[in-house]
Structure 1
Amino acid sequence: MKLFCVFLVALACVGGTMGNGLKCTLKPANVPTSWIDIVDPCVKVMESQVKTEIAAAMKYLAMGAHFARDTINRPGFSKFFFESASEEREHAIKIIEYLLMRGQLTNDVSKLLKFPVILNNNDTNIRQEWLSAEEALSDALKLEAEVTRSIRNIIITCENPKETETSSFNDYHLVDYLITDFLEEQHKGQRDLAGKLSTLGKMMQTHGQLGEFLFDKKLLNGEI
């Protein structure tokens, strides 16, 4: 069967070379578009969310790199923030995959991203240094809150999108997907960061800089 498919593709390429030199051209398939029902406002906010997730990933990468420096040497925090960056990148991929499932992004997916990626209009640069791990965790919590608000805005838009012929349109599947797969994780992540920030603050009040060192060791071993 595989050989038969290869043979068919080879025939198509040979047919293409007859009129276009050595260029292999295949005509696009004639696929109906009636199954594509996601409205444009939803597509736009979902595409914007891809950029938001990538921007968050880049900020976490900056945090991870900062605490990995030999002059800082906090491997626990570095590992935590690098893992957080991977999670944000995976979120961006999940959104892209969802849009593809709904018949969107059929052209150049790379157009979604423009560098430098920014989270919002007031944030044109990615921070490179933090005075303490406590400050970094606080920034991370604020970042997650911004991402959560962005997801909620998508839900609001897709429950009752404007600029459409059918104003009563409600994309139940997309809304359910975001609530189940994204908001649940966002709220748990925020609670986890708030707990870590609280514990670290108490340890530093009691032990000073040694508290941050001990917290980092526990974070590295997965004990916090």
Structure 2
Amino acid sequence: MKDLVRQKLSIHVDIMDLLNKQIQKEAQSSASYLAMASWCDHNALTGSAEFFYEQATEEREHMMKIFRFINDNGGTAFSPQTKEVQHDFGSLEEIYETALDQEIEITESIHNLVQKCRKVNDLTSENFLQWFVNEQMEEEQMIRRALELFDLLGTDGIGLKLLDERIPEIRKKPL
């Protein structure tokens, strides 16, 4: 019976398996952003804390979007398990650098998924994933903008405070 169900999928079975792995990556990213938000809150960096709380929520929304896509197309989405996340950081700049690395990794994963869709001729999933391609471009650009503020404003004293106050503006500006 299991093989019969998998044959009636609207998406390619290999793509479904890769999408389930992407669900785990999005969940891991959400958990990581929560840890970053907590560190910022603990260090009185409220602008950055809010930025990362919102990022955590977005990553969970991405996870759920993929989860529902799989189920809506006859597949079976699996609830993800996350690994331990980093909770201690040396600086706010380190957090944003870690966030950028994380987003680049997610972007590469999405691009690999799109390439696999093309290889197996899964147009439904490729079309679905185009939203994520655009979203990842915006995510990377937003964090790069935040990192540019470190060069402009510095990382000590009032510079760090001004930087933290400017961070929420980055989310509001269209890219």
Same fold (TM over 0.5): yes
Q: Is the 8 A contact 1:62 1:126 kept in 2?
A: yes
Separation of aligned partners in 2, 1:126 and 1:33:
34
- Residue number among 197, 201, 212 corresponding to 2:151 in the alignment: 201
Separation of aligned partners in 2, 1:213 and 1:104:
48
Could you list the structure 1 runs, at least 4 aligned residues long, displaced by more than 4 angstroms after superposition.
32-35, 220-224
Q: Deviations over 1:133-170 (max 9, x none)?
A: 11111110110000001111111222113xxxxxxxx0
Unaligned runs of 5+ in 1: 1-31, 119-124, 162-169
Q: TM-score, normalised by structure 1?
A: 0.69
User: What letter matches 1:146 in structure 2?
Assistant: E
Q: Deviations over 1:20-60 (max 9, x none)?
A: xxxxxxxxxxxx98753322111100000000000000000
Q: Residue 160 of structure 1 aligns to a residue in which SS?
A: helix
Q: Which fold has the larger relative contact order, with Cα–Cα distance below 8 Å and residues 6 or more apart in sequence?
A: 2
Identical aligned residues as a percent:
25
Separation of aligned partners in 1, 2:88 and 2:115:
35
- Residue number among 148, 173, 179 corresponding to 2:124 in the alignment: 173
Please identify which structure carries the higher helix content: 2
RMSD over aligned Cα atoms: 2.1
- Residue number among 27, 52, 72 corresponding to 1:54 in the alignment: 27
User: What does 1:181-192 correspond to in 2, within 5 Å?
Assistant: 181-192=131-142
Aligned length: 168
Separation of aligned partners in 2, 1:195 and 1:78:
16
| Structure (1 or 2) with the larger CA radius of gyration | 1
